[in-house]
Structure 1
Amino acid sequence: MITQVNSKRNEVFVDESRIETSKRPWFGQLPEALPAQYSFAVMGDRCGMMTPGVFEQGLELLKDLNPEFVLFVGDLVEGYWKDADKAREEWEYIDAQIEATGLPFFQTIGNHDFGTQAMVDVWRERKGHEYYAFRAGDQLFLTLNTEDPFEEMPDEMIELIKRSTEKVHADPEHTMEYMKEFYEEITKGLTPEQLQSMGKVGIGISAEQLAFFEKVLEDNKDVKHTFVSMHKPGWKADSAEFARLEAILQDREHTVFAGHFHTLEYTADANRTYIQLGRTGAGAHGIGRADDNLILWVTVNEDRVSYRVIHLDGVSDVMAYPPQLHHQD
């Protein structure tokens, strides 16, 4: 059953056929009405192996820029906890930071958020639904869970992730060295075939989830643009479920946002746009401009959608520029 949370034109849709709860995986409310032109922001992965304070810097900037709402593509916490209290502790901190902005903030599940049974249980306890959709004016937004069902990692891999994460938190200036060390440790002893399989994106989208989005799309045929948020980029996966979703979207103008790889990529083809978000606090996977900490700024009007990239490493407080003596030539 699809429940409409708001009876106005701006609506949120949740699937109560799988879970009945008053908990919601977003903060704030959609505006009751939107202007003909409006903007929203999309933030990339905060974790894993985050640099403390970067995501918070992004939130402070967005408070000033005041978008209509914010989308997040997953991995808000380092996660992978077997201890539910540790998971709650992480969520308590970052949820408070997000709520304090006063901005509507729509979360997507990432593998770090949902990587153990304890993480799954705490998500459901705190946030309820694992996927949902909303309509804002003439635009439709689908928020997928690509960990449905989730696959728990071996304990040895989780322990390795935890050790590497602790090193990065303690010494963020050497993140790239620790990332290289981490990669070498997980790949040692693997065959060429196993190494090749590591590059494949594995996603899970349940039949129930797909049916929910099919119904939402059927009920909102009149929208001008559809935006899809997911953590792992479905277009890089061998997924029959994502292929089915794409088949339904093929006659619609649509954009798919994803994260996971911490590197910004943009691909446009006919009426379809794929944007893999870079990171907003997570550890760098490379040293190019696409690997910077950033936020995507999206402007929607009646005729078009435009995208601008805000590089956080280039944003400074004006107090960083004190007066100087100037010599007149």
Structure 2
Amino acid sequence: MSLKMERKGSEMFVDERRFATDRRPWFGQLPERIGKNFTFAVMGDRCGMALPGVFEKGLAILQDLKPDFVLFVGDLVEGYGMDSEEARNEWEYIDAQIAATGLPFFQTIGNHDFGTQTLVDVWRERKGIEYYAFRVGDVLFLILNTEDPFEELSDELIARVKLAAANIRRDPERASEYVKAFDDEVVASMSPDQLQDVGKARVGLGDEQLAFFENVLASNADAKYTFVSMHKPGWKSDSSSFARLREMIGSRPHTIFAGHFHSLEYSRTNEACQIQLGRTGAASHGEGKGDQNLLLWVSMRSGVPSIRVVHLDGITEPADYPPRHP
């Protein structure tokens, strides 16, 4: 286990023993002279079944607002069922959009990014490492891979995902109709036991990954606050590995960000805050306020976070307000 441990204003931690590569799943660098007070944004799922242009709108807004950096909770590409060249093409497009903002952008693996062996191979080719950590002043960030190992989907389910995604790309105005048809087909194919587990997440956190984060936490015991970014919400799973992670975090003040279910939910227990991100471009699976396209804005002030929800559909251009004529 190798950790880069100089104490600076910002630091990156990588499991160099497991990932012998210079590839990295983030864009840009953390500011070297960042202080105790800083801001960052958290973006939700772009996929599955992405609505064209929505994630890009979120990036454009953040480019104007200029947070110190951006966290993303996973599912940047549709992924499932593609061959290597298709996967590379999809990554080429979205990576270029992110790089063009000039913002430091820290990615978390989602099931759409890492859901088949082909996608795993392309990720490793382009991004290298699968989990990591960093520190900004007195604040520690853990970026997990909940697909360690990834969950195999049937060819039939992958075909349904691909069809729904293609329909939405072709006719985004009917997205809710295509999502409902997809959901109805999936539910109809499930057994009673499977239906009982619909709201649960299957979280995988391998032993090497947990050992890495145990080391990071021990080496940063003086951090005043800890953020965790994971794609699937571990608190909605029966995962013993997630339970072990929570034991490692212990009584540290912390917030866990997750995604996957495309709907914003917030809960708090003592010093622990859990936020399931809504979507930032992915298809909606509901009609409530938390199902809208959104992102989070986080302001850190002397080790204490203030979190605000920014609804993208409420942010418009001045040209949307033409003069009124009598």
Residue 131 of structure 2 corresponds to 131
For 1:287, what is the secondary structure of its paired residue? coil
For residues 224-245 of structure 1, what are the alpha-carbon distances to aligned partners after superposition, in whole Å with 9 as ceiling and x for unaligned? 1000000000011111111111
Residue 253 of structure 2 corresponds to 253
In structure 1, C-alpha distance between the alignment counterparts of 2:308 and 2:322, rounded to whole Å: 29
For residues 89-117 of structure 1, what are the alpha-carbon distances to aligned partners after superposition, in whole Å with 9 as ceiling and x for unaligned? 00000000000000000000000000111
Q: How many Å apart are 1:146 and its aligned residue? A: 0.2
Q: How many Å apart are 1:324 and its aligned residue? A: 2.7
Would you say the 8 A contact 1:266–1:276 is kept in 2? yes
For 1:222, what is the secondary structure of its paired residue? coil
In structure 1, C-alpha distance between the alignment counterparts of 2:250 and 2:270, rounded to whole Å: 10
For 1:257, what is the secondary structure of its paired residue? strand
Q: How many Å apart are 1:325 and its aligned residue? A: 4.5
Q: How many Å apart are 1:7 and its aligned residue? A: 6.3
For 1:198, what is the secondary structure of its paired residue? coil
In structure 2, C-alpha distance between the alignment counterparts of 1:118 and 1:6, rounded to whole Å: 36
Would you say the 8 A contact 1:40–1:70 is kept in 2? yes
Residue 37 of structure 2 corresponds to 37
Would you say the 8 A contact 2:46–2:75 is kept in 1? yes
In structure 2, C-alpha distance between the alignment counterparts of 1:45 and 1:323, rounded to whole Å: 36
- Unaligned residue ranges in structure 1 (runs of 5+): none
**Which AA in structure 2 matches 1:258?**
A
In structure 2, C-alpha distance between the alignment counterparts of 1:32 and 1:225, rounded to whole Å: 19
Would you say the 8 A contact 1:148–1:204 is kept in 2? yes
**Gap change, CA 1:8 and 1:316, over 3 Å in 2:** same
TM-score (norm 2): 0.97
**Which AA in structure 2 matches 1:170?**
R
Residue 14 of structure 2 corresponds to 14
In structure 2, C-alpha distance between the alignment counterparts of 1:284 and 1:216, rounded to whole Å: 36
Would you say the 8 A contact 1:48–1:282 is kept in 2? yes
Superposed, 1:146-161 pairs within 5 Å as 146-161=146-161
1:287 and 2:304 correspond: no
Would you say the 8 A contact 1:24–1:128 is kept in 2? yes
Superposed, 1:59-138 pairs within 5 Å as 59-138=59-138
- Unaligned residue ranges in structure 2 (runs of 5+): none
For residues 200-251 of structure 1, what are the alpha-carbon distances to aligned partners after superposition, in whole Å with 9 as ceiling and x for unaligned? 2111000000000000000001111000000000011111111111112121
TM-score (norm 1): 0.96
Residue 242 of structure 1 corresponds to 242
In structure 2, C-alpha distance between the alignment counterparts of 1:315 and 1:266, rounded to whole Å: 22
User: Percent identity between the aligned chains?
Assistant: 60
For residues 177-202 of structure 1, what are the alpha-carbon distances to aligned partners after superposition, in whole Å with 9 as ceiling and x for unaligned? 11111111122243322211333211
For 2:197, what is the secondary structure of its paired residue? helix
For 1:316, what is the secondary structure of its paired residue? coil
1:55 and 2:55 correspond: yes
Residue 213 of structure 1 corresponds to 213
Residue 203 of structure 1 corresponds to 203
**Gap change, CA 1:211 and 1:288, over 3 Å in 2:** same
Residue 272 of structure 2 corresponds to 272
Residue 320 of structure 2 corresponds to 320
In structure 1, C-alpha distance between the alignment counterparts of 2:199 and 2:251, rounded to whole Å: 30
Would you say the 8 A contact 1:70–1:103 is kept in 2? yes
In structure 1, C-alpha distance between the alignment counterparts of 2:282 and 2:6, rounded to whole Å: 34
**Gap change, CA 1:303 and 1:148, over 3 Å in 2:** closer
In structure 2, C-alpha distance between the alignment counterparts of 1:102 and 1:191, rounded to whole Å: 47
198-207 or 111-120: bigger deviation: 198-207
303-312 or 61-70: bigger deviation: 303-312
**Gap change, CA 1:26 and 1:304, over 3 Å in 2:** same
